[in-house]
Structure 1
Amino acid sequence: MRAQHPRIAILGGGIGGLAASAFLYREGMSATVYEQASELKEIGAGLVVAPNAARLLRRLGVMDGLAERAVRLDTGWEFRRWEDGTVLSAEDLASSCEELYGEHTYTAHRADLLAALRSAVPGDVRLGKRCVGITVGDGGLPVLRFADGETTEPDIVIGADGIHSVVRGAVTEPSPAVYSGYCAFRALVPSERAPAFARRPAQTLWIGPGHHLVHYPVSAGRFVNLVAFAPAGDDVVESWTATATVREFLAEFATWDARLTDLIQAAGTPGRWALLDRAPLRRWTRGPVTLLGDAAHPMFPFFAQGAAQAIEDAAVLARCVADRPGDPLGALRRYERLRIPRTTRLQEASHARASVNHLPDGPEQQARDASFADADPLKANAWIYAYDPEHALAETSA
């Protein structure tokens, strides 16, 4: 160690990387964020800010600002049948969520969450910095090499660089992500063009054979976020910037409730990308190098927890390093030990949800639909929403 506090490099300036920087600053430490893009922006569309994420964002002091640009949900887990919109179940979030978990549930545009996190990062964010290699030098310090020829030797490297992480290859054996067989269509529909049923402060999931579709308002109600999942064709690419046509989108849902086809027709040019799949890792850390967010645990979006888990990672990692500022290796091992069981469970639960949502019509589908009448997903998922990583940390020895 060359100073009282470790020198920390974060690769990736997305939600996970900025959250890590913000939580480190909250703990009295600084970090340098290296982002390969020339500007900080989130290409995606909407996301759910569940109570477990909102709780941590409030501790960062950014939740009130985000709430001005987000939508507080009155209804969630509103499952509807694909062909006629029959409501199979719906959760009254307005009256239950804060009582159960101390926070509401919100939906937000990813760019708004990114801006909120950036406001809590007074430290160094360096743009246009693409890392091309990581080695650990003779002194035990990691050496980062960038495409522009610059090198740096921090005490800790945090890989928050997504599912195609460069850092991941320095931690575990390289293995390519595999295609899941699903693709996702996404679009933002201006609220003035969206049907009234989609403008409600509700998270609605239409489920049917081999497909499902989700919609909810974002950006203080100015847009409706639309994301749909379907079998992937051979020509689907894995890219946030790939597009489809409205005709292709409609073709996947042509026999569904006419209200949905109206919503899709209002979508403009939709994006379409293939969902990638990775098995859970058994370790995230090697020496002074660790992983965070999608670099560590990419998960299907069917529990809407990808961003939330990256934020949880960031809070735990920052506290672990703060507890052991002179022992970064021990701090990273503790972080890994605390986070892997939870994120693995969520990866597996999200993976299993696809088969439940996509059942073909028949006895299994009828039993599933009947089970929704007795379900209370808000309480059933208390293991997700009630979890407080800082309380979990307090229960373990430093």
Structure 2
Amino acid sequence: MKAVIAGGGIGGLTAALCFHKFGWDVELCEQAAEIREIGAGIQISPNGMQVLRALELDQQIEAIGFRPRASQLRMGKSGRPIVTASTQAYEARFGAPYLHIYRPDLISVLKDVVLDRLPQAIKTGVAVTGYGQNDREAWLTLDNGLKCNGDIIVGADGIRSTIRAQMIGQDKPDFTGNTAWRAVVPVSKLGRNCPLPVSSIWLGEGKHAVTYLLRGGQLANFVGVVERDDWKNERWTERGDKADALADFAGWHPVVTTLLEQADEHYRWALFDRAPLDQWAEGRAVLLGDACHPMLPFMAQGAAQAIEDGYVLARNLAEQNDHKNALDRYFALRQKRTAKIQAAARANMSIFHQRSSAGKLTTFGPMWLADKFKPDIADDRLDWVYGFDVTAE
């Protein structure tokens, strides 16, 4: 059996390795001339690491990542901690570590392993224009006039998915009123204002920032989200001006402002929300990752959920003789979970951005008290996300 995958990002490459694990042949089509990623940090939580461990990639991933000591909520200007949760205990609690990864490093590892295990699987420089199928096979149509044929078509082609558009039509995302800034800076440029070896969420009025370390502590990652409606471009490769980024976080803690000051490049993109889909498949074509459940970044689960998708999809297709039953089961196993995480990310957006003193007191006060008297309460609330192991179902 053969899977043909559209998209060479984290979801597509992981899906290729999952299909290979379960005995399938794979062909992956990527429109870029070279599979690579723009610089940015991501977080791989224990639920995602369980899949990477099942694919025998965990040691390579850990070697290029960073293990934070804790996760924190802090006030953006004063830096005062509200909640601190140890992430070093996650492996014992959830069965796998929590890592920070530089996107280009993760893509490089995944690509190299795909090429090692499936030497002829990746085709680059070919843009997918659509798909076709009959009762025996399915195929991707490419911009060069050729086709890639297989038994199943997997749309892992991201938030602007060509496969999804053909399957269910163009989506109509809702602008959240938020714009995100992104930057990565060598820690050697930050001096005493380098972020601590923890994942920190800095809270402010109508905005928040996230900082953490990457690549063994050599790089510092910054993401800042600001409520504003003067920028509605969803492409996350658009550069912005340093002055605008600094103005958005003027008066904030020096860890935040120093990162922005020392960054050579400042990227920004508008955040749009999408309702969960009630269809992920049509015949022999199926969606995965951002193509079917794009997520706001406030749960740090976009990559982990795409990784989970690949494993569940490949396993169900390998275990079921009928592709329709397999794809129906994949949807049943994944849609409710991903929709719940989408909703949780949406809720966090409003929690982080309290503007009034009363809102801050009623929201952050109970968090601070809980952290003092029951410090593991934050972990309890994450059990359903981090403790979920798709490889053990």
Q: 2:225 aligns with which of 221, 226, 229?
A: 229
**If the length of structure 2 is used for normalisation, what is the TM-score?**
0.94
Question: Post-superposition shift, 1:195?
Answer: 4.3
The question of whether the paired residues in 1 share the 8 Å contact of 2:35 and 2:111 is answered with no
Q: What residue in structure 2 maps to residue 396 of structure 1?
A: none
Q: What residue in structure 1 maps to residue 82 of structure 2?
A: 88
Q: What residue in structure 1 maps to residue 15 of structure 2?
A: 20
Q: What residue in structure 1 maps to residue 325 of structure 2?
A: 330
Q: Does 1:299 align with 2:290?
A: no
Rounded Cα–Cα distance in structure 2 between residues aligned with 1:308 and 1:370: 30
The question of whether the paired residues in 2 share the 8 Å contact of 1:204 and 1:215 is answered with yes
Q: What residue in structure 2 maps to residue 34 of structure 1?
A: 29
Rounded Cα–Cα distance in structure 2 between residues aligned with 1:212 and 1:315: 33
Larger deviation: 50-59 or 193-202?
193-202
User: Per-residue CA shift, 1:283-326, capped at 9, x if unaligned?
Assistant: 211111110000010000111000000000011011001102x3
Rounded Cα–Cα distance in structure 2 between residues aligned with 1:195 and 1:172: 51
Rounded Cα–Cα distance in structure 1 between residues aligned with 2:87 and 2:148: 48
Rounded Cα–Cα distance in structure 2 between residues aligned with 1:214 and 1:108: 14
Q: What residue in structure 2 maps to residue 390 of structure 1?
A: 391
Q: Secondary structure at the match of 1:157?
A: strand
CA RMSD of aligned residues (A): 1.5
User: Per-residue CA shift, 1:82-113, capped at 9, x if unaligned?
Assistant: 2211100111122x212211222110101111
Question: Post-superposition shift, 1:115?
Answer: 2.0
Write the letter of the residue equivalent to 2:168: T
Q: What residue in structure 2 maps to residue 362 of structure 1?
A: 357
The question of whether the paired residues in 2 share the 8 Å contact of 1:14 and 1:114 is answered with yes
Q: 1:47 aligns with which of 12, 37, 42?
A: 42
Question: Post-superposition shift, 1:236?
Answer: 4.3
Q: Secondary structure at the match of 2:129?
A: strand
Q: What residue in structure 1 maps to residue 60 of structure 2?
A: 65
Aligned length: 383
User: Per-residue CA shift, 1:214-270, capped at 9, x if unaligned?
Assistant: 000001111100110012443442222201111100111113234422222112221
Q: Does 1:349 align with 2:350?
A: no
Question: Post-superposition shift, 1:150?
Answer: 0.7
Q: Does 1:110 align with 2:103?
A: yes
Alignment of 1:233-272 (within 5 A): 233-272=229-268
Write the letter of the residue equivalent to 1:383: W
Larger deviation: 97-106 or 289-298?
97-106
Rounded Cα–Cα distance in structure 2 between residues aligned with 1:165 and 1:346: 20
Write the letter of the residue equivalent to 1:132: T
Write the letter of the residue equivalent to 2:384: W
Rounded Cα–Cα distance in structure 1 between residues aligned with 2:187 and 2:13: 30
Alignment of 1:309-320 (within 5 A): 309-320=305-316
The question of whether the paired residues in 2 share the 8 Å contact of 1:236 and 1:272 is answered with no
Write the letter of the residue equivalent to 1:341: K
The question of whether the paired residues in 2 share the 8 Å contact of 1:230 and 1:252 is answered with yes
Q: What residue in structure 2 maps to residue 157 of structure 1?
A: 153
Q: What residue in structure 1 maps to residue 374 of structure 2?
A: none
Alignment of 1:185-200 (within 5 A): 185-196=181-192, 198-200=194-196
Question: Post-superposition shift, 1:210?
Answer: 0.7
The question of whether the paired residues in 2 share the 8 Å contact of 1:12 and 1:33 is answered with yes
Query: Does the C-alpha gap of structure 1 residues 310 and 44 become closer, same or farther in structure 2, counting only changes over 3 Å?
Result: farther
The percent of aligned pairs where both chains have the same amino acid is 33
Q: Secondary structure at the match of 2:154?
A: strand
Rounded Cα–Cα distance in structure 1 between residues aligned with 2:282 and 2:210: 38
The question of whether the paired residues in 1 share the 8 Å contact of 2:69 and 2:86 is answered with yes
Rounded Cα–Cα distance in structure 1 between residues aligned with 2:90 and 2:192: 24
The question of whether the paired residues in 2 share the 8 Å contact of 1:44 and 1:240 is answered with no
User: Per-residue CA shift, 1:306-353, capped at 9, x if unaligned?
Assistant: 0000000011011001102x3222211111111001000001110111
Larger deviation: 366-375 or 104-113?
366-375
Question: Post-superposition shift, 1:363?
Answer: 0.9
Uncovered stretches (5+) of structure 1, i.e. residues with no partner = 393-398
Rounded Cα–Cα distance in structure 2 between residues aligned with 1:89 and 1:196: 23
Rounded Cα–Cα distance in structure 2 between residues aligned with 1:260 and 1:322: 47
Q: Secondary structure at the match of 2:54?
A: helix
Alignment of 1:79-228 (within 5 A): 79-94=73-88, 96-121=89-114, 122-123=117-118, 124-137=121-134, 139=135, 141-196=137-192, 198-228=194-224
Rounded Cα–Cα distance in structure 1 between residues aligned with 2:386 and 2:310: 17
User: Per-residue CA shift, 1:48-103, capped at 9, x if unaligned?
Assistant: 11111112111111111111111111111x11112211100111122x21221122
Question: Post-superposition shift, 1:135?
Answer: 3.0
Uncovered stretches (5+) of structure 2, i.e. residues with no partner = 372-376
The question of whether the paired residues in 1 share the 8 Å contact of 2:51 and 2:391 is answered with no
